[in-house]
Amino acid sequence: MTHQVHIIGGGLAGSEAAWQLGRRGIRVRLSEMRGGGDTTPAHQGDGLAELVCSNSFRSDDDTANAVGLLHHEMRQCNSLVMRAAAEAQVPAGSALAVDRDVFSAHVEKALTELPTVEIVRERVDVLPTDGLTIVATGPLTAASLAESIGGATGADSLAFFDAIAPIVHRHSVDMDVCWIQSRWDKKTEASNEDGDYINCPMNKEQYLAFRQGLLDGEKTEFKQWEADTPYFEGCMPIEVMAARGEDTLRFGPMKPVGLDNPHDRTPEFPQGRWPYAVVQLRQDNKLGTLWNMVGFQTKLKHGAQVDLFRTIPGLEQAEFARLGGLHRNTFLNSPRLLDRQLRLKSAPHIRFAGQITGCEGYVESSAVGMVAGMMAAAELAGENWTSPPPTTALGALLSHITGDAEAESYQPMNINFGLFPMPEEQVHKKARKAFYTERAKRDLSAWLGTAQPVPA
């Protein structure tokens, strides 16, 4: 099959871009190096759209939450990632979490069944010199291609560290110590009967000892080329958070509020009292056999992780399906290098999509891949591309990546209402998120109705 668009990278962004193009009848060559003899430091398998860090797409609330709004907008655009997430959903309260294997398999099956998409297991070492191309290789771009990108951009990519949280086998958790509950007992249709999180309680003495263990534990050593790489605030290793203050973890991933320990009931607290701190586990697969440690991305060495995490009450006999890890992520200075259609200014036949553009998060990466595919489709059809309004989540994210952010201080960014234009009229602070959401849905609907027909 002679392709019209070459997509390099079969992660979330590349898979979404291929879906958007293929559904519009455009012939796509999707190159993915995994399965062709190569891999990355973070991936475990060869499946398309493999989730390498958390299994959560974060909040699915589209009434007053920016990432939930982005979910809604992607669904309106017939997103493959959102379709797959619905098929692979596991209980996680108001969050959208998925079984990683089911999710990846759904994406790969959907693309394999599209006659317009050819999936090729190959490593691409240099940027193509002609032909429409979307580079969606993510933050773990192979060294040879990264060197080619560096040569084309004439500028060094920025870099930051991204850490991976451990996964625990459910049968090894002591439920005589732990219990299942969602914070404040909030549940959704996807929730388990008792709640969505396994909670491991700590008293003050246990918490302080655990925090000290994080500080003292043996860490992964940096290589020389990593020495000056900063952390991204949205994926901070837990030991780095621990170093910021004695109570930082208790107000972050280990906060106990809204969690009543049923093993600690008294006449005064018949539902159980809040512990001093809590370690939460979130379901990671459909079977409920694997649970990940929420917020516990770490750079501790594997032996140190096992020793320390088994001091957590209820995890004394924990068996780990995967331990935490650390890898360096790279991304472009997109406001300086890309135009408003994600094209490389020095080589406009090449678009970039996904995390390599400096968006952060599964959903954001998928969304940028989705829009990159729509942009390429419009270009092939000879149509003038009209971007989503900046009042929408899609438009706000694109605006940040392609020009609104300061190039000198550009950093990876999750979608948030701070990227949206302020209301022209007076809106009370408490009603502002709802206002942003309602305005975005209205404006997206108008945009889809006039500018971007979406294949069913």
Please give the annotated binding residues, written as ranges: 9-14
Collapsing DSSP states into helix, strand and coil, what is residue 59? strand
Contact status, residue 353 vs residue 342, Cβ threshold 8 Å = yes
CA dihedral 304, 198, 235, 307 (to 10 degrees): 0
| Amino acid of residue 171 | H
| Concatenated DSSP letters of 191-241 | --SS-SEEEEEE-HHHHHHHHHHHHHSPBPPPPGGGTTPPBPGGG--HHHH
Nearest to 15 by CA among 1, 3, 25, 30: 30
Point out the annotated binding site for FAD: 9-14
* Phi, psi at 330, each rounded to 5°: -125, 150
Residue with tokens 């809590």: 278
A 10 A CB-CB count for 363 gives 30
C-alpha to C-alpha distance for 14 and 226, rounded to whole angstroms: 27
C-alpha to C-alpha distance for 313 and 84, rounded to whole angstroms: 35
| Strand pairing category for 56-59 and 95-98 | antiparallel
Positive or negative: CA dihedral 138, 142, 148, 154: positive
| Concatenated DSSP letters of 13-52 | HHHHHHHHHHTTT--EEEEE-BTTTB--SS--S--TT---
